[in-house]
Copies of this chain bind each other. A is one copy, B any other.
Amino acid sequence: MAIRVLHFGLGPIGAAVARQVCTRPGLKSVGGVDIDPAKVGRDLGDVAGLTRRLGLKVSSDAAKALKAAKPDVVVHCTSSLIRTVLPQIETILKSKTPIVSTTEELVYPGYTHVRQAQQIDRWAKNARVAVLATGVNPGYTMDVLPIALTAACERVDRVIVSRVQDARTRRLRFQQKIGAGLTTEQFQRKAEDGSVRHVGLTESVAMIADALGWTLDRITDEIQPKLASVTISSEFLAVDPGYVCGIIQDGVGYRKGEPAIRLHLEAYLGAPEAYEAVHIEGSPRLSMRIDGGIPGDVATAAIVVNSIPKVVGAAPGLHTMLDLPLPSFFPGT
């Protein structure tokens, strides 16, 4: 019996998830929800960019769609922010359906959103279903992979992670989120109001600290613009010299006054060399590198889909990648 999946949120990531679900025999899309009037009422297959129609109309009424579709799991891809998604999560959990979400703040909410995390945990336990938020970052490259690497260590002194991405390969919304095309003044304003930034470094630092049993003094999360030195074009944008082509962002966890966890993220149009790098200082010292990096959009959708069977099989409550079984590809059979 295939696992019945309802898609809540059909932006680029939600649509990518629907396309992956379509290719895996053990999963079946049974409904779609979105608030975008351009999507509501259309066939889910068309909205998600599938090669075929599914005979399922995208609905704007989540409660009704959940009742009609009776999914085994909801894939929830709407917003980075817990305050935005809280009522959506409540609606889904009222239908007693497990959730895999891409809400970045929910990936490891215990540091910045304790109260809301407890609320979701209570709802999930009342509904007797599991909830997980995950994605490529936060949820994988800058937290789960480094944590898995520490398993080979008898002592860990410091964790240093770098992720450099050429944002030309990412979706338009991502390029906007990192401020591509802005002036430095516009960038500063948007960085201050939070509309330009990567959401998740604080969550990743907190996840690593908890995995290692470290109590942190504080976590900092600082952002600066990367300026184009020549004209750089993506499929969606062209950025002239002197304008912002992306972000450089650093999340640091301080322990006993020292920077014990350093997460360095560069995401800009035209980064010459994409990679993931993890350095564990300790015994033994370990350095891991993924040349070319992990492409963000396909990997986020993949991690979400690959997490579905683990969430469906998990104990009721709000989970994190820390307490679920070893992440792995799920073939859908």
Binding site for B on A (CB under 8 A): 20, 23, 136, 140-141, 144-145, 147-148, 150-156, 211-214, 282-292, 294-295, 298-299, 301-303, 305-307, 321-333
In the complex, what residues of B have CB within 8 A of residue A212's CB?
A: 328-329, 331
Q: A204 → chain B, closest Cβ, in Å? A: 14
Looking at the complex, which one of B284, B289, B325, B331 makes contact with A294 (CB distance below 8 Å)?
Answer: B284
Bound CA–CA A292/B305 (angstroms) = 34
Q: Are A326 and B144 in contact (CB under 8 A)?
A: yes
Q: A253 → chain B, closest Cβ, in Å? A: 15
- Within the oligomer, what is the number of copies of this chain? 2
Bound CA–CA A306/B151 (angstroms) = 6
Q: Are A151 and B286 in contact (CB under 8 A)?
A: no
Q: Are B292 and A329 in contact (CB under 8 A)?
A: no
Give A145's nearest chain B residue, CB to CB: B148
Which of A214, A299, A321 neighbours the largest number of chain B CB atoms within 10 Å of its CB?
A: A299
Looking at the complex, which one of B154, B214, B289 makes contact with A305 (CB distance below 8 Å)?
Answer: B154
In the complex, what residues of B have CB within 8 A of residue A213's CB?
A: 330-333
Bound CA–CA A322/B329 (angstroms) = 12
Q: A110 → chain B, closest Cβ, in Å? A: 16
Q: A162 → chain B, closest Cβ, in Å? A: 14
Q: Would you give 13 A-B contacts (Cβ < 8 Å), ordered by A? A: A140-B152, A150-B306, A151-B303, A151-B307, A154-B305, A213-B330, A284-B294, A286-B292, A287-B291, A288-B290, A289-B291, A322-B328, A326-B326
Q: A276 → chain B, closest Cβ, in Å? A: 8
Looking at the complex, which one of B148, B301, B331 makes contact with A328 (CB distance below 8 Å)?
Answer: B148
Instruction: List 10 A-B pairs, minimum CB-CB distance, nearest first.
Output: A151-B327, A150-B329, A213-B331, A152-B299, A154-B302, A211-B328, A147-B328, A156-B329, A20-B154, A284-B295
